[in-house]
Structure formats: C-alpha cells, structure tokens
Amino acid sequence: MKIDPHDRIDLTGPWAGFGFQGGHMFTPEGHQLEPCDMTWWSLTCNIAREWRLMMAEERAEVATRSVRPRQAPATTKSSVIYLAEVLRIRRERRLGAGVSGSDAEPSNVVYMSRGPKPRQRV
C-alpha cells in the first residue's frame, strides 16, 4: 500500500475527525496544524492535566466546607468553582496577606545578597 501525502487521510476511532492532507494535520473543527504547532502538545496536555487536578482538588475542598464562598443557585446540582476567588485565597494563604497582628505568618520574601566581596589589591 502506498500513501500519497497530498491525498486526504482520515483517522478513525478516538481520533475520528482528525486527519492529514498535503503534509498538514487538520482538526474536527477544520483548523490546520503545521508540523511546528505539534511541538506544543506536551505543554498543552500538561496544562490541561494540572487544570483538571486543581479543579478536582477545589471541588473536593468545596464539598467538605460547610460554607461556600458564593452560593450557587438552588436548582444547580453540580458545584461551581469561582477560579478567581480560589486563586485569591491561595495567594493570600501563601503570602500571608490580609493577616495582621503578632500571630501573622512570616514573609516568604528572600532577600538576595551578593555574598562576600573578593579581596582587593591595595
């Protein structure tokens, strides 16, 4: 069997809708992918995996809390995650922002110094 790279080749199974034609890959939405575009797939997949883990973590945390940051409408069965609020809370916890008084957490700031000065000839 000989495959001509200029003929359209449609993929099947879980890849149905994707295909190749003329040295390029195309998506089910009709977007054309250049070979150099595929170098970013690993990064995109890693970002998506981290997003799923972060959302699953937050859903579990929201389910265990008695009071939610914002109440979803009573008709909604799934929990809604307000990402901006989650990130703000995490940032405040990490940086100790919004906490005042003697029991405040120490700052995470590390001041860089150049170290000892080399000997100078006199």
Please check whether residues 26 and 65 belong to one and the same domain: no
109, part of any domain = no
Q: How many Cα atoms sit within 13 Å of 65 on the Cβ side?
A: 13
Note down the domain range covering 45.
Answer: 40-95
Give the position of tokens 């170098």.
Answer: 39
pTM, rounded to two decimals: 0.36
Please check whether residues 29 and 48 belong to one and the same domain: no
Please check whether residues 73 and 55 belong to one and the same domain: yes
Please check whether residues 19 and 59 belong to one and the same domain: no
Amino acid at 87: L
Tens-of-pLDDT digits for all 122 residues of the chain? 676 667 788 899 998 999 988 888 899 998 998 888 888 888 889 999 998 998 888 888 877 775 555 555 555 555 677 778 888 888 888 876 555 555 566 666 666 666 666 677 76
Q: How many separate domains does the chain show? A: 2
Chain center to CA of 17: 26
List strand residue ranges (DSSP E) for the chain, in order: 9-10, 19-21, 24-26, 32-33
Q: What is the H or E stretch that residue 36 is in?
A: none
Amino acid at 88: R
